[in-house]
Amino acid sequence: MSRDDTFYITTPIYYVNDVPHIGHAYTTIAADVLARYWRLRGREVFFLTGLDEHGQKVQQAAAKAGVDPQVHCDKLAPQFEKLWRRLNISNNAFIRTTDDGHKSVVQRYLQQLYDKKLIYKDSYTGWYCTFDERFWTEKDVENGLCPDCKRPVEQLSEHNYFFKMGQYQNQLLDHIKQYPSFIRPESRRNEVLGFLQTQKLGDLSISRPKSRLSWGIELPFDNNYVTYVWFDALVNYISALEYLPLEKPASNRFWPANVHLVGKDILTTHAVYWSTMLMALNLPLPETIFAHGWWTVDGEKMSKSRGNVVDPNKMVDELGADAFRYFLLREVPFGQDGDFSLTGMVARINSDLANGLGNLLSRTLTLIERTQAGLLPAPGPMRPAERELEQATVSLLNEALPRHLEQLEFHRALEAIWHVIQLANQYVDKTAPWTLAKSASDAETLRTVLYTMAETLRCLSLAAYPVIPTSAQSICSQLGISVEFTSPLLRSKIEWGGLKPDTLIHKGPSLFPRIESKPGAKPVTESSVPSQPTLAAPTATAVSAPPAPPQITIDEFMKIQLKTARVLSAERVPKSEKLIKLQVSLGTEQRQIIAGIGKKYEPDALVGKTIVIVSNLKPAKLMGIESQGMVLAAGDADVQGLLTIQEKVDPGTKVK
């Protein structure tokens, strides 16, 4: 079997003492999307995740609880496995570093490096951080605190074993330069290159004396020491291929890994420690190490003390696994930092999932049920409107989806899918099948429209399956078709017309019920959603209209000052996909405005436009940058258009 027939994807192995949070879910969901996609493309996939269970923090936590460290780990491990099941994670294996099979592989590699004289014993004095289980040099430590976690460090002097990591510095530099996709995104690659080009790479302490730490894998050449937790943990990516239940020889078929997904905080350990270890063992390096960003919550760093740690289990309970998966991958470009907002997630569910995909499915099935006795009709001749939707749908599956997912551009892939959903809903509005149903002379056209709607949904289920697998399966089930999504459905080019006429549909519950939020209350899923438009009184959407906003008086409205402003310059705000920093002229003054229009507009396209702003809005800071006003734009969760003045109007003119 060639490398083109397999795909090996890994997450980091998560620390067993942690409570599963949004960061763990984010990495694992992203890996799951890639695994599901490549299975659809016909590759044999091995998707690995698991737990890191050794080290001083585990030993201390177990001692505090009065139990053996292994008992402590056995108690905590199920919380991750349970969450992955709830999030529909399709991992092939779950590794634990306390597994005997893993331990034996680690010891074998340690012995190989020792025999090659790449491990030596020496004395060492340095500042030690118990939390990170890492030594720091004098220049790294500031005010007695660890530079990473900002916790106090202690000075230790002891004998340890060292791996000759430094001698691989030039070899690693050459590899990174030769293979641009080895470290991604490019900003992370540049970080590692900058580090290796400006600093001398030292040797790595890979042991801890048992007198200080006994909970670890014993060195095969000195039973007074255990191995450093990172040497132990990183080897999991290969050890899993040797001892977990797989058809042999798994290592030859799957290694090197296609993608290691990691958080940006552990990029150095993977790009430097792991890479040099592999070089020393004469093993090939992974194809790609992709380091994604961190999540904040409502603009603040997550922490237990703030009480703002996002619990994925609660998200599943309240909003559903597919909605949570969709939001995480749609909201932020993979690789950048993101900000989690419950309000933002509810807006995504209502606008994209409920009003978009859910609405399309519900109105399609309702019309087939009411006009065709629930049987999928045979289509008549296709008109330009049907051809346009067919072309967009097939192009999505055969071109846009592979282009974006294979580059880990999850948000772009979802944008492309929802573009077709938008086109499909517009097609329904324009063709007005409820009107066609009133005239016998339009019966053939009605059948064509309904078939086109249903076939578009079938194709959309294939495209959306990697991200929202349960919903994709529900779409097919409600369309009356059985689809085996674990089979290579996307191995060949997708062609239009896969649905067979006279198939009996099975309309089910609403795919994504709208979420109603009340101030100070948890989001609640509506127990029922109004049915699709009736033939006598069609409406554009399948869900109830939002409650009318409270009315204001003319005096209240007159407090708002709307003025024209000319855009002088525009640039993107770093680390934000949405925000653009505008410098605008109001005639007598110049202002800076931060506008969330970056998904709709490129900065250069805004320069010279005359826009409308709220000029008497109190200044506020967005991502630390002051905004002195607000632009007016149309749209709900996403901006659809900026309010501009076509005629020649002086900047600063009052709008009324």
**Lowest pLDDT segment from 146-155, 189-198, 275-284, 414-423:** 146-155
Which residue, 481, 510, 525, sits at the end of a domain? 525
Which spans in 66-140 are helix H?
A: 69-86, 100-115
Identify the CA nearest to 18 among candidates 61, 49, 63. Answer: 61
Domain total for the chain? Answer: 3
Instruction: Evaluate whether residue 373 is within a structural domain.
Output: yes
Burial (Cβ within 10 Å: 0-12, 13-18, ≥19) of residue 339: middle
Which pLDDT value is given to residue 533?
Answer: 30
**Residue 497, domain extent:** 339-525
Average pLDDT estimate for 464-488: 96
Give 591's contacts (C-beta < 8 A, 6+ positions apart). 565, 583, 584, 628, 629
**Cα separation, 376 vs 501, whole angstroms:** 5
**Cα separation, 483 vs 467, whole angstroms:** 16
Say yes or no: 357 and 218 in one domain: no
Instruction: Evaluate whether residue 424 is within a structural domain.
Output: yes
Burial (Cβ within 10 Å: 0-12, 13-18, ≥19) of residue 462: buried
Is 405 or 618 the better-scoring residue by pLDDT?
405
Q: Residues 232-244: pLDDT tens digits?
A: 999 999 999 998 8
Total residue count of the chain as it appears in this document: 656
> Model confidence at 15, in pLDDT bands (50, 70, 90)?
very high
In this structure, what token pair is assigned to residue 569? 């310059």
Q: Residues 414-442: pLDDT tens digits?
A: 999 999 999 999 999 999 999 999 999 99
Whether the CB-CB separation of 321 and 327 falls below 8 Å is answered with no
Say yes or no: 467 and 609 in one domain: no
Q: Residues 69-126: pLDDT tens digits?
A: 999 999 999 999 999 999 999 999 999 999 999 999 999 999 999 999 999 999 877 7
Which pLDDT value is given to residue 456?
Answer: 98
**Cα separation, 296 vs 611, whole angstroms:** 32
Instruction: Evaluate whether residue 569 is within a structural domain.
Output: yes
Average pLDDT of the chain? 89
**Cα separation, 621 vs 448, whole angstroms:** 52
Q: What would you report as the CA-atom Rg of the chain, rounded to the nearest whole angstrom?
A: 29
Say yes or no: 21 and 122 in one domain: yes
**Cα separation, 73 vs 52, whole angstroms:** 10
Which spans in 296-350 are helix H?
A: 312-319, 321-331, 342-348
For residue 525, pLDDT over 60 is answered with no
For residue 542, pLDDT over 70 is answered with no
**Lowest pLDDT segment from 136-150, 192-206, 324-338, 477-491:** 136-150
Say yes or no: 11 and 146 in one domain: yes
Average pLDDT estimate for 481-497: 93
**Lowest pLDDT segment from 163-167, 224-228, 633-637:** 633-637
Q: Write the secondary structure of 467-524 as one string of H (helix), E (strand) and C (coil).
A: CCHHHHHHHHHHHCCCCCCCCCCCCCCCCCCCCCCCCECCCCCCCCCCEECCCCCCCE
For residue 452, pLDDT over 50 is answered with yes
**Cα separation, 244 vs 559, whole angstroms:** 68
Say yes or no: 118 and 156 in one domain: yes
Which pLDDT value is given to residue 531?
Answer: 30
**Lowest pLDDT segment from 17-21, 247-251, 499-503, 565-569:** 247-251
Report the 10 Å Cβ neighbour count for 395.
14
Say yes or no: 361 and 496 in one domain: yes
Say yes or no: 492 and 347 in one domain: yes
pTM: 0.78
Average pLDDT estimate for 333-340: 92
Instruction: Evaluate whether residue 285 is within a structural domain.
Output: no
Which pLDDT value is given to residue 549?
Answer: 55
Which pLDDT value is given to residue 249?
Answer: 61
**Cα separation, 515 vs 70, whole angstroms:** 43
**Cα separation, 464 vs 396, whole angstroms:** 11
* CATH code, domain with 65: 3.40.50.620
Report the 10 Å Cβ neighbour count for 238.
22
Which residue, 189, 222, 255, sits at the end of a domain? 255
For residue 204, pLDDT over 90 is answered with yes
* CATH code, domain with 462: 1.10.730.10
Average pLDDT estimate for 162-175: 97
Say yes or no: 211 and 141 in one domain: yes
* CATH code, domain with 623: 2.40.50.140
Residues forming a β-bridge with 525: 515
* Most confident option among 272-281, 338-347, 604-613: 272-281
Strands 207-209 and 222-227: antiparallel
One-letter amino acid at 616 equals N
Instruction: Evaluate whether residue 271 is within a structural domain.
Output: no
Is 636 or 492 the better-scoring residue by pLDDT?
492
**Cα separation, 529 vs 527, whole angstroms:** 7
**Cα separation, 380 vs 444, whole angstroms:** 6
36 — phi, psi (to 5°)? -65, -40
Say yes or no: 425 and 470 in one domain: yes
Instruction: Evaluate whether residue 533 is within a structural domain.
Output: no
Say yes or no: 157 and 232 in one domain: yes
**Cα separation, 211 vs 67, whole angstroms:** 19
Q: Residues 289-302: pLDDT tens digits?
A: 999 999 988 888 87
For residue 279, pLDDT over 70 is answered with yes
Say yes or no: 360 and 481 in one domain: yes
In this structure, what token pair is assigned to residue 343? 């309000």
Say yes or no: 107 and 245 in one domain: yes
**Cα separation, 150 vs 18, whole angstroms:** 18
Percent of the chain with pLDDT over 70: 92
Which pLDDT value is given to residue 540?
Answer: 33
Instruction: Evaluate whether residue 277 is within a structural domain.
Output: no
> Model confidence at 194, in pLDDT bands (50, 70, 90)?
very high
Average pLDDT estimate for 536-550: 38
Instruction: Evaluate whether residue 272 is within a structural domain.
Output: no
Percent of the chain with pLDDT over 90: 67
**Cα separation, 164 vs 534, whole angstroms:** 74
**Cα separation, 205 vs 626, whole angstroms:** 46
Q: Residues 588-645: pLDDT tens digits?
A: 788 899 998 888 887 877 888 899 999 888 888 887 788 899 999 887 667 878 888 8
Q: Residues 22-66: pLDDT tens digits?
A: 999 999 999 999 999 999 999 999 999 999 999 988 999 999 999
Q: Please give the DSSP secondary-structure letter assigned to residue 398.
A: I
Burial (Cβ within 10 Å: 0-12, 13-18, ≥19) of residue 51: buried
Which residue, 255, 284, 315, sits at the end of a domain? 255
Identify the CA nearest to 186 among candidates 290, 67, 329, 48. Answer: 290
Average pLDDT estimate for 283-292: 97
For residue 538, pLDDT over 70 is answered with no
